[in-house]
Amino acid sequence: MISYIYSKVLSVLRDRPAKVWGVTLFYGLVSALAATLGVLPIITMPVAYVLGTTLSLTLLAKYRTGTDPKCKDAFRYFTKEHFLHIAGANAYAELWVLIWCLIPIVGPIFAVIRTYEYAFVPFLSVEEPDIKATEVKDRSSQMTNGYKGKMFLADLIVVGIFVVVSMLLTFLGARVARFFIFLYLLWLVAFCLLAPLFMGMVRAAFYEEVSTMTEEKYMSFIQKPARPAYPQQGGYQQPPQGGYQQQPQQAPVKVCPNCGATVDAASQFCPKCGTRF
């Protein structure tokens, strides 16, 4: 499933990637500006929740239909109908993540699990507005059941690639040439600019695939194409393990019309009843 989502996300991002990246950067700048100019967290946090949800839905629309995002849509959920519901659903989910994080020793582990468990809250707070804000996280928990590990692994692969490439460039810069230090800086900037877009699109892809999951689609994700059974038609055929085994040839036989006994085809008399053929 992860490889399927990766390949589909990359194919979607090939269509006008600069425009999608530019709109994503715009959302980030607006969120940073709101956090900087805000006086109280109780004001800035709801704004950040709604902007983040808007970005998630924008990436979801791009994944579904290829629709190009627009900067003017950044504030389309700043309405009485959506604002409080979106902010409340996201804030309630994050509150529970914080509560789980406070558990001694194992708290951070449970917090990470709950973070992926509530990963669909931004999408559900818009696409299923009839659900109460305090119940959106429960709906997300139901949908992510069985997929939390896949989402975590999808993010871990991206982080792992970053760590491996960074360590390799750092090593080459220290042992081979300082030119690799410059490449490392370019790699760091590129990752910081592009990784949030890719990972956000992957999260939207998971929501879309899970919300439209059918039994046939699920089986296609977990089953590998079966190898054709031996023997194959046409061309050279690989012999089975142990080589070919010659089948014993059976002598031709005939049936006695009188008693029904099986008789060698060369015989002229039935050995059972003596009938002549």
- What pLDDT does 11 receive? 82
Whether pLDDT at 88 is above 80:
yes
Give the residue with greater pLDDT, 238 vs 257.
Answer: 257
pLDDT in tens, 142-169: 888 888 889 999 989 989 999 999 899 8
Of the candidates 12, 5, 24, 11, the one whose C-alpha atom is nearest the C-alpha of residue 153 is: 5
Average predicted confidence (pLDDT) for the chain = 79
- What pLDDT does 270 receive? 67
The answer to which of 55-69, 161-175, 254-268 has the lowest mean pLDDT is: 254-268
Of the candidates 63, 54, 57, 65, the one whose C-alpha atom is nearest the C-alpha of residue 209 is: 63
pLDDT in tens, 198-224: 888 888 888 888 888 766 766 766 665
Structure tokens at 103: 């558990």
Give the residue with greater pLDDT, 239 vs 143.
Answer: 143
- What pLDDT does 227 receive? 52
Tell me what percent of the residues of the chain surpass a pLDDT of 70.
77
The answer to which of 32-36, 99-103, 106-110, 223-227 has the lowest mean pLDDT is: 223-227
Residue 254 pairs in a beta bridge with 263
Output b/e per residue, 13-31; b: 16+ Cβ within 10 A.
Answer: beeeeeebbebbeebbebb
- What pLDDT does 218 receive? 63
How many Cα atoms within 13 Å fall on the side-chain side of residue 23?
Answer: 25
Structure tokens at 200: 């956000």
- What pLDDT does 156 receive? 92
Give the residue with greater pLDDT, 38 vs 180.
Answer: 180
Region 194-201 average pLDDT: 85
Tell me what percent of the residues of the chain surpass a pLDDT of 90.
8
Region 187-205 average pLDDT: 86
The domains of the chain are located at 146-213, 253-277
User: In angstroms, rounded to a whole number, what is the distance separating the alpha carbons of residues 10 and 154?
Assistant: 14
Output b/e per residue, 176-210; b: 16+ Cβ within 10 A.
Answer: eeeebeeebeebeeebeeeebbbebbbbbbbbbbb
Region 59-64 average pLDDT: 84
Region 128-152 average pLDDT: 88
- What pLDDT does 244 receive? 47
User: In angstroms, rounded to a whole number, what is the distance separating the alpha carbons of residues 158 and 153?
Assistant: 9
- What pLDDT does 235 receive? 47
Region 250-260 average pLDDT: 67
The answer to which of 13-27, 83-97, 248-262 has the lowest mean pLDDT is: 248-262
